[in-house]
């Protein structure tokens, strides 16, 4: 195993620079993933466990026990008596440094203990309720649906109209074609942040304020997508189109049945990008969607972190759920994303 | 699967007659307009029209959203933004938050871009070595790039909160807890750190692609000549990587100037206005505050646009210089 790990091509022994490289990579691994692992572990902590200081890595929470005569379960402690023996007791109440304890097996006998003589009994418990309660307590299902709807519909529309434009710009020669292409590429230089106010006006003008379509439509014509697809379609030989035209295929049929299937790899790259853009989008939804029933997951997260500052257990669970689709995309499609970025220099 | 193909077929049949008709009316080559049409409509409505209207907003006042209801005020919005009684004291400025946002954005961009390029260059150089499991390691640095800014901010907010793991570490080491996000200097540090954490994988990938395009023979020749690693780096790697480095530098700069989402969730621009950047100023002036000052927001976004344009011109100049330098070589 060690031989495999320390193997290098050609040389037999690892140079010190190799060790330095691996050390650098391991520090990177820790810096990049420790925060995320910590987040995921924390999201399984119960409400009381999450506010414990110092925090534990694993989701330990205090054990509690139901005692006859008390409505709520009482927290369990290990109490040390004068002789140094320890026994499990439940705490009924605490005033200052004195706590009133009771043995769960004999609920009648109460005992007053200094709080320094007792320590909580903890057990490992994963609070899956943080996740399940999201759907019952908040409109979480709706936020999830809004995000999914925007992502899916916007991606399909993006693929459709960008590929149509790319087809026109790569396979036709018409007057003004160059100008159209330059115009589209020029919009790469205009980030949405600098036309925020007038975009808001236009969305308001066409009546799409507080509508999911108001987030979907403004960004479906991406210059990146047109550019990426056009460059790919240029490599498709024109003879294929000529042959189809000989057979009296309509232009739409040529686009739909020949060009689209052949451009599938480029479409896949654009689809992945579009999913990432839409799922993670924040500023446009923030100004367009102000009613909470239209919130996306990102907006819901943002508004909850303002309101529910104390309810971290729900907020963290929500964050983890938001993280999941992106992680799946990453796990399965990393290679395509890497090639997409390396070839087009886009994100 | 069958449903999908049904829907696809329906879609195909729906549009085919439209394009057949278009072909008969326009002729085959001009049919291109029909294909590029939807894209142009969306661009026109949501990009080109707004560019024009932005100028209208910037030169009109009042609180009305409709442009024709707004009184023309000329350059007053810009005058308000830049008015100061004493230009050496930010507090005497009418919109001191705007000045602070400008200043913060400049400081943030300068620091963040330098560190971003250095870290992603170092990472790309390490990843370009003969290492086991390169795909895995590349993924490690790339993963945070995919996370949404809100998620990134919440992850770090959770670690940095007063009862968080960082303070637990400090207490365990016998030190006192620090207000990571409510102390102005620390908050600024963390905005820089978190934005690098989230985005460096993207730039690493671009640099790595550039490194892998450098011909192996050059390194073999250098090895023959017993060139030191440092010399190989400065004489072969860096000059040949220059085009990619410029791309990374400019992209990072353009993004840094527009930083908003992560910081907005992480610190909310605070404490005070210590981490308020220019886009957040635009958002707050135009949308978040009680009175929506669209004109002022549009004027501020024109200032941002001028800054971005300057950066783009610098990019073009640099790229030309770099490619001219390569041809001379």
Interchain proximity B261–A282, CB inside 8 Å: yes
Buried b or exposed e, range A38-51, using 16+ CB within 10 angstroms:
bbebbbbbbeebbe
Specify the CATH class of B84-328 in words: mainly alpha
Compute the count of residue pairs across chains A and B with CB atoms less than 8 Å apart.
Answer: 278
Same domain membership, residue A15 and residue A146: no
> What residues contact residue A302 under an 8 Å CB cut-off, 6+ apart?
A282, A286, B150, B264, B265
- What is residue A224's predicted lDDT score, i.e. its pLDDT? 85
How many CA atoms are closer than 13 Å to the CA of B123, on its beta-carbon side? 30
Separation in Å, CA B107 to CA B81, B110, B282, B309? 19, 5, 18, 19
**pLDDT one-digit tens code per residue, B168-217:** 888 888 888 888 888 889 999 999 999 999 999 889 988 988 888 888 88
Same domain membership, residue A150 and residue A102: no
- What is residue A27's predicted lDDT score, i.e. its pLDDT? 93
Same domain membership, residue A116 and residue A169: no
Contact call for residues B322 and B243 (beta carbons, < 8 A): yes
In a domain, A333, yes or no: yes
Interchain proximity B197–A196, CB inside 8 Å: no
pLDDT band at A125 (very low <50, low <70, confident <90, very high): confident
Nearest Cα to Cα of residue A294 among A216, A234, A227, A229: A216
- Provide mean pLDDT across the span A85-112: 77
Is a pLDDT exceeding 50 seen at residue A1? no
How many CA atoms are closer than 13 Å to the CA of B328, on its beta-carbon side? 7
Is a pLDDT exceeding 60 seen at residue A345? no
- Provide mean pLDDT across the span B267-293: 85
In the block, tokens 């609070």 appear at A127
- What is residue B329's predicted lDDT score, i.e. its pLDDT? 52
- Judged by DSSP in three states, A26 sits in helix
Interchain proximity A194–B171, CB inside 8 Å: no
Same domain membership, residue A336 and residue A309: yes
In a domain, A206, yes or no: yes
Interchain proximity A282–B122, CB inside 8 Å: no
Question: Out of A74-88, A161-175, A192-206, B307-321, which region has the weakest mean confidence (pLDDT)?
Answer: A74-88
Among B47, B309, B313, which would you mutate to test the A interface (most chain A Cβ atoms within 10 Å of its Cβ)?
B47
Measured distance CA(B98)–CA(B277) in Å, rounded: 9
Residue of A nearest to B120 (CA): A28
Interchain proximity B122–A51, CB inside 8 Å: no
- What is residue B146's predicted lDDT score, i.e. its pLDDT? 86
Separation in Å, CA B37 to CA A161, A222, B44, B47, B245? 9, 14, 10, 15, 37
Same domain membership, residue A315 and residue A271: yes
Nearest Cα to Cα of residue B138 among B148, B154, B159, B124: B124
Same domain membership, residue A233 and residue A107: no
Q: Which residues of A touch B121 (CB under 8 A)?
A: none
Is a pLDDT exceeding 70 seen at residue B134? yes
High-pLDDT (> 70) share of chain B, % = 98
Q: Which backbone phi and psi does A74 adopt, to 5 degrees? A: -100, 145
Q: Kindly state the tokens that stand for B202.
A: 């993207």
Q: Are strands A64-65 and A60-62 parallel, antiparallel or unpaired?
A: unpaired
- What is residue A294's predicted lDDT score, i.e. its pLDDT? 92
Domain count, chain A: 3
**pLDDT one-digit tens code per residue, B296-319:** 888 888 888 888 888 888 877 887
Same domain membership, residue A273 and residue A161: yes
Separation in Å, CA A8 to CA A2, A15, A28, A219, B2? 12, 10, 21, 48, 50
Q: Which residues of A touch B32 (CB under 8 A)?
A: 168-169, 172-174, 177
- What is residue A155's predicted lDDT score, i.e. its pLDDT? 94
Q: List where CATH 1.10.3720.10 sits in chain B.
A: 84-328
**pLDDT one-digit tens code per residue, A287-298:** 899 888 899 989
- Provide mean pLDDT across the span B62-83: 78
- What is residue B227's predicted lDDT score, i.e. its pLDDT? 82
More confident call, A169 vs A123: A169
Q: Which residues of B touch A153 (CB under 8 A)?
A: none
- What is residue B194's predicted lDDT score, i.e. its pLDDT? 94
- What is residue A156's predicted lDDT score, i.e. its pLDDT? 93
Measured distance CA(B23)–CA(A255) in Å, rounded: 13
In a domain, A49, yes or no: no
Q: Which of B47, B168, B197 sits opposite A53 (nearest CB)?
A: B168
- What is residue A86's predicted lDDT score, i.e. its pLDDT? 76
Owning domain of residue A38: 2-42
**pLDDT one-digit tens code per residue, B25-38:** 877 778 888 888 89
Contact call for residues A341 and A74 (beta carbons, < 8 A): no
Measured distance CA(B141)–CA(A334) in Å, rounded: 12
Q: Which of B151, B171, B209 sits opposite A322 (nearest CB)?
A: B151
Interchain proximity A25–B126, CB inside 8 Å: yes
In a domain, A74, yes or no: yes
Q: Which backbone phi and psi does A95 adopt, to 5 degrees? A: -125, 120
Interchain proximity A198–B43, CB inside 8 Å: no
Interchain proximity A319–B154, CB inside 8 Å: yes
- What is residue A308's predicted lDDT score, i.e. its pLDDT? 53
Q: Which of A39, A184, A193 sits opposite B279 (nearest CB)?
A: A193
Number of residues written out for chain B: 329
Same domain membership, residue A17 and residue A149: no
Q: Which of A198, A226, A343 sits opposite B54 (nearest CB)?
A: A198
Measured distance CA(B127)–CA(A22) in Å, rounded: 10
Q: Which of A25, A183, A194 sits opposite B301 (nearest CB)?
A: A194
Question: Out of A125-129, A246-250, B56-60, which region has the weakest mean confidence (pLDDT)?
Answer: A125-129
Measured distance CA(A178)–CA(B53) in Å, rounded: 26
Same domain membership, residue A147 and residue A225: yes
Is a pLDDT exceeding 50 seen at residue B250? yes
Q: Kindly state the tokens that stand for A297.
A: 């997951």
* Rounded-to-10 torsion of CA A32, B271, B168, A55: -80
pLDDT band at A26 (very low <50, low <70, confident <90, very high): very high
Q: Which of A177, A316, A342 sits opposite B32 (nearest CB)?
A: A177
Q: Which residues of A touch B208 (CB under 8 A)?
A: 342
Same domain membership, residue A197 and residue A89: no
In a domain, A56, yes or no: no
Interchain proximity A218–B297, CB inside 8 Å: no
Measured distance CA(B38)–CA(B43) in Å, rounded: 9
Among A194, A223, A258, A286, which would you mutate to test the B interface (most chain B Cβ atoms within 10 Å of its Cβ)?
A194
Is a pLDDT exceeding 90 seen at residue A128? no
Helix ranges (DSSP H) in chain A = 2-5, 16-42, 47-50, 129-137, 140-171, 177-186, 196-205, 212-216, 223-233, 238-246, 251-253, 260-262, 264-280, 283-288, 297-307, 312-344
Interchain proximity B36–A168, CB inside 8 Å: yes
**pLDDT one-digit tens code per residue, A230-241:** 888 988 888 888
Is a pLDDT exceeding 90 seen at residue A153? yes
Separation in Å, CA B91 to CA A144, A188, B87, B94, B183? 44, 37, 9, 8, 20
Is a pLDDT exceeding 80 seen at residue A81? no
- What is residue B135's predicted lDDT score, i.e. its pLDDT? 82
Number of residues written out for chain A: 347
**pLDDT one-digit tens code per residue, A249-271:** 888 888 888 888 898 888 888 88
- What is residue B326's predicted lDDT score, i.e. its pLDDT? 63
Same domain membership, residue A89 and residue A25: no
- Judged by DSSP in three states, B293 sits in coil
Measured distance CA(B137)–CA(B126) in Å, rounded: 10
- Judged by DSSP in three states, A81 sits in coil
Domain end call among A86, A120, A154? A120
Is a pLDDT exceeding 50 seen at residue A333? yes
In a domain, A128, yes or no: no
Separation in Å, CA A152 to CA A149, A155, A341, B313? 5, 5, 22, 37
Q: What's the gap in Å between the CA of A106 and the closest CA on chain B?
A: 38
Interchain proximity A172–B29, CB inside 8 Å: yes
Is a pLDDT exceeding 50 seen at residue B159? yes
Q: Which of A197, A327, A338 sits opposite B54 (nearest CB)?
A: A197
Q: What's the gap in Å between the CA of A69 and the closest CA on chain B?
A: 35
Is a pLDDT exceeding 90 seen at residue A58? no
Same domain membership, residue A88 and residue A32: no
Q: Round to the nearest angstrom and report the end-to-end CA distance of chain B.
A: 57
pLDDT band at B113 (very low <50, low <70, confident <90, very high): very high
pLDDT band at B218 (very low <50, low <70, confident <90, very high): confident
More confident call, B104 vs B63: B104
Q: Which of A5, A54, A195 sits opposite B54 (nearest CB)?
A: A195
ipTM of the complex: 0.82
The chain-wide mean pLDDT, for chain B, equals: 85
Q: Which residues of B touch A33 (CB under 8 A)?
A: 140, 143
């Amino acid at each position: 195993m060690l031989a495999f790990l320390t193997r290098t091509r050609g040389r037999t022994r690892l140079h010190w620079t190799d060790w330095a490289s691996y050390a650098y990579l391991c520090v990177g691994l820790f810096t990049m993933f420790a925060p995320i692992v910590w987040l995921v572990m924390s999201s399984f902590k119960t409400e009381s466990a999450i506010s414990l200081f110092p925090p534990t890595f694993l989701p330990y929470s205090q054990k509690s026990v139901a005692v006859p005569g008390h409505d709520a379960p009482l927290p369990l402690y290990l109490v040390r008596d004068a002789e140094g023996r320890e026994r499990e007791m439940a705490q009924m109440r605490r005033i200052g440094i004195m706590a009133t304890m009771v043995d769960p097996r004999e609920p009648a006998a109460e005992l007053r203990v200094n709080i320094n003589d007792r320590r909580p009994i903890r057990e490992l418990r994963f609070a899956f309720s943080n996740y399940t309660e999201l759907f019952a307590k908040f409109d979480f299902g709706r936020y999830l649906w809004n995000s999914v709807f925007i992502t899916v519909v916007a991606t399909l529309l993006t693929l459709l109209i960008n590929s149509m434009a790319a087809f026109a710009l790569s396979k036709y020669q018409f007057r003004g074609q160059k100008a159209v292409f330059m115009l589209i590429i020029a919009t790469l230089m205009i980030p949405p942040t600098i036309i925020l106010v007038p975009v808001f006006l236009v969305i308001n003008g066409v009546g799409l304020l507080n509508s999911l379509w108001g987030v979907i439509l403004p960004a479906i014509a991406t210059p990146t997508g047109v550019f990426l697809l056009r460059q790919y379609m240029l490599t498709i030989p024109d003879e294929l189109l000529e042959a189809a035209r000989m057979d009296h295929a309509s232009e739409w049929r040529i686009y739909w049945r020949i060009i689209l299937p052949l451009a599938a790899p480029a479409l896949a790259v654009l689809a992945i990008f579009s999913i990432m853009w839409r799922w993670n989008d924040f500023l446009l939804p923030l100004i367009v969607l102000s009613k909470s029933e239209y919130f996306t997951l990102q907006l819901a997260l943002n508004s909850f972190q303002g309101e529910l500052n104390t309810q971290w257990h729900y907020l963290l669970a929500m964050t983890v759920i938001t993280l999941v689709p992106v992680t799946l995309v990453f796990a399965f499609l990393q290679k395509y994303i890497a090639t997409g970025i390396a070839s087009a220099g886009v994100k | 699967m069958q449903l999908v193909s049904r829907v696809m077929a329906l879609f195909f049949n729906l549009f085919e007659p439209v394009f057949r008709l278009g072909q008969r009316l326009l002729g085959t080559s001009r049919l291109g307009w029909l294909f590029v049409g939807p894209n142009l409509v969306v661009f026109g409505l949501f990009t080109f029209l707004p560019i024009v209207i932005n100028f209208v907003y910037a030169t009109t006042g009042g609180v009305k959203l409709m442009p024709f209801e707004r009184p023309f005020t000329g350059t007053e919005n810009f005058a308000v933004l830049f008015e100061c009684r004493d230009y050496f004291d930010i507090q005497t400025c009418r919109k001191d938050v705007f000045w602070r946002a400008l200043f913060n954005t400049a400081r943030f961009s300068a620091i963040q871009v330098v560190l971003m390029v250095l870290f992603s260059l170092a990472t790309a150089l390490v990843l370009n070595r003969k290492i086991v499991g390169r795909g895995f390691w590349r993924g490690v640095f790339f993963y945070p790039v995919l996370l949404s800014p809100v998620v990134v901010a919440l992850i770090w907010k959770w670690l940095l909160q007063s009862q968080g793991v960082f303070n637990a570490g400090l207490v365990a080491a016998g030190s006192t807890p620090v207000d990571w996000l409510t102390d102005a200097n620390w908050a600024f540090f963390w905005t820089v750190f978190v934005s690098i954490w989230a985005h460096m994988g993207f730039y690493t990938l671009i640099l790595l692609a550039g490194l892998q395009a450098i011909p192996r023979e050059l390194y073999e020749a250098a090895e023959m000549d017993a060139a030191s690693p440092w010399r190989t780096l400065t004489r072969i790697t860096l000059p040949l990587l220059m085009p990619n480095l410029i791309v990374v530098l400019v992209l990072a700069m353009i993004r840094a100037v527009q930083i908003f989402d992560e910081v907005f969730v992480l610190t909310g621009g605070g404490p005070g206005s210590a981490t308020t950047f220019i886009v957040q100023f635009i958002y707050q002036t135009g949308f978040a505050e009680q009175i929506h000052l669209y004109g002022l927001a549009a004027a501020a976004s024109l200032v941002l646009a001028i800054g971005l344009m300057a950066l783009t011109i610098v990019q073009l100049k640099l790229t030309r210089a770099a490619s001219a330098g390569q041809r001379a070589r």
